[in-house]
Amino acid sequence: MTDVASANAAAAAGPTSSFSMVEEPLDLVRLSLDERIYVKLRGDRELRGRLHAYDQHLNMVLGEVEETITIVDVDEESNTQSVRTVNRKVPMLFVRGDGVILVSPPSRAS
Amino acid sequence: MLFYSFFKTQVGQHVTVELKNDLAIQGVLESVDQFLNFKLKDIKVVDEERYPHMLSVKNCFVRGSVVRYVQLSPPTVDTALLQDAARREAQSTQQMQQAKPNVAPPVA
Amino acid sequence: MSQLQPYVDCKVSVVMNDGRLVVGILRGLDQTTNIIMQSCQERIFSEDEAVEVVDLGLYMIRGDNIALIGLIDEVADAALDLDSLRGEPLQPVKH
């Protein structure tokens, strides 16, 4: 995968005609096409999957997706919280962009 | 327009639309519009025991703004074509950005 | 051309963003999914009681508050036994 820092250095060094440079946030998403990415969504949801398409709203199509939902259960009597996660796999998924909080390339995924 | 075009290629396919109220609806995609509102036919709510609200509904219109996910059938998706289309879309939206005078010019 | 045009003058079931379910006759709509519904009835589902039906009359519902509009199959709807039907209330839409 193209290194963002070196792409930016290249951008600073010369004219910006090359299409592979990172000038704006969505360029990082473009460079993640066909890579496995991490997506954090509203509602304590996280996705890991292969990015097949995206647009300026961050609508996406992901393949071989693993979704993790974090659920916090509060026990009213003892007033304690317990956190559990639910995982599921979806082979092909369209994700609506308005729920996206952040996108991370695979090397930076936790 | 990328996903509008994409969903037009999905018309007639079985999809599961998951809404932001946690309702999931299985059905055949009948049509889509520019807002990514969907029309589905032969629908069934995935957890019908729990949510019997739609038992007498076979066709429905889902407002795009309440869609969280659409589960698709992988064989119906040409991923190479999608990636090409996404790159082209990125290029064209970037050119549109640069054509706007109030956007900061690229680093020279 | 609106995708909803074929539903006009038909009995529909509208899921609203706050979780309510309103059944009525769709009389009109616009681009933003604002709709006019006649002879509206709210159907209130609960886990341990019969479905409660409340008459509401004529409604104009703003599109932003609409999650889904279902075309009711009137034969299937007439066959529903709302007195014995049990179900959880729908959850509100969380953006």
pLDDT in tens, A27-76: 999 999 999 999 999 999 999 999 999 999 999 999 999 999 999 999 88
Contact between C33 and B63 using a beta-carbon 8 Å cutoff: yes
Contacts of C91 in chain B (CB under 8 A): 21-23
Distance of residue A64 Cα from the nearest chain B Cα, in angstroms: 9
Confidence of residue A21 (pLDDT cuts 50, 70, 90): confident
| DSSP assignments along A53-101, one per residue | EE-TT--EEEEEEEEEEEEEEEETTTTEEEEEEEEEEEEEEEE-GGGEE
Domains of chain C: 5-73 (2.30.30.100)
**In Å, how far are B40, B43, B61, C10, C49 from C6, measured between CA atoms?**
13, 17, 11, 8, 35
Q: For residue A44, how far is the Cα from the chain centroid?
A: 13
- pLDDT, tens only, A68-104: 999 999 988 899 999 999 999 999 999 999 999 999 9
Contact A37, A51 (CB under 8 A): yes
- Specify the residue for token string 């993790």: A68
Q: How many C-beta neighbours within 10 Å does residue A71 have?
A: 10
Note every long-range contact of C20-26, with CB atoms under 8 Å and residues 24 or more positions apart, other chains counting: C20/C44, C20/C90, C21/B53, C21/C45, C21/C90, C22/C56, C22/C59, C22/C61, C23/C72, C24/C56, C24/C59, C26/C69
Shortest CA distance from A96: residue in chain C: C95
* Range of lowest pLDDT (B25-29, B96-100, C16-20): B96-100
CATH of B2-96, one of 1.10.390.10, 2.40.170.20, 2.30.30.100, 3.40.190.10: 2.30.30.100
Contact residues, chain C, for A43 at CB < 8 Å: 94
Q: Band the pLDDT of A1: cuts 50, 70, 90.
A: very low
Residue A97 CA to residue B9 CA, distance in Å, equals 20
What pLDDT, on the 0 to 100 scale, is given for residue B105? Answer: 56
Q: Do C94 and A98 touch (CB under 8 A)?
A: no
Tell me the shortest Cα–Cα distance from A50 to chain C, in angstroms.
Answer: 24
On the question of pLDDT at A109 being above 60, the answer is no
What is the domain partition of chain B in residue ranges? 2-96
Q: What backbone torsions phi and psi does residue C79 show, to the nearest 5 degrees?
A: -80, -10
Mean pLDDT to the nearest integer, B16-36 = 98
For the cut 60, the answer to whether the pLDDT of residue B46 exceeds it is yes
Question: What angle in degrees, to the nearest 10, is found between the helix axes of B2-9 and B79-99?
Answer: 160
C17, C64, C95: best to mutate for the A interface, most A CBs within 10 A: C95
In this predicted structure, what is the pLDDT of residue B49?
A: 95
DSSP 8-state assignment for residue A18: -
Nearest-Cα distance to chain C for B48, in Å, is 9
**B64 pLDDT higher than 90:** yes
Dist CA A95 CA B13 (whole Å): 17
**Separation CA A106–CA B16 (nearest Å):** 27
Sign of CA dihedral B91, B93, B99, B101: negative
* B37 contact residues in A (CB cutoff 8 A): none
Percent residues over pLDDT 70 in chain B: 90
ipTM: 0.96
- How confident is the model at residue B94, as a pLDDT? 74
CA distances from B67 to A106, B31, C4, C17 (A): 26, 15, 17, 12
Find, among A65, A31, A45, A105, the residue nearest to B77 by Cα: A65
pLDDT of residue A14: 44
pLDDT of residue B40: 98
pLDDT surpasses 90 at C79? yes
Residue B71 DSSP code = E
Give the whole-angstrom CA distance, residue A78 versus residue A48: 35
pLDDT of res. C14:
98
Q: Does residue B67 surpass a pLDDT of 60?
A: yes
C1: pLDDT strictly greater than 70: no
pLDDT category at B17 given cuts 50, 70, 90 is very high
The secondary structure element, H or E, covering residue A13 is helix A4-13
What is the rounded average pLDDT of the residues B77-83?
97
Q: Which of C11, C41, C6 is nearest to C25 (CA)?
A: C11
**What's the pLDDT score for residue B95?**
75
**Higher pLDDT, residue C45 or A108:** C45
Higher per-residue confidence, B7 vs B100: B7
CB C63 within 8 A of CB C35: yes
What is the predicted pLDDT for the residue at B92? 87
Q: Average pLDDT, stretch A6-14?
A: 47
pLDDT at residue C43 tops 90: yes
Res. C29: pLDDT tops 50: yes
What is chain B's mean pLDDT, rounded?
92
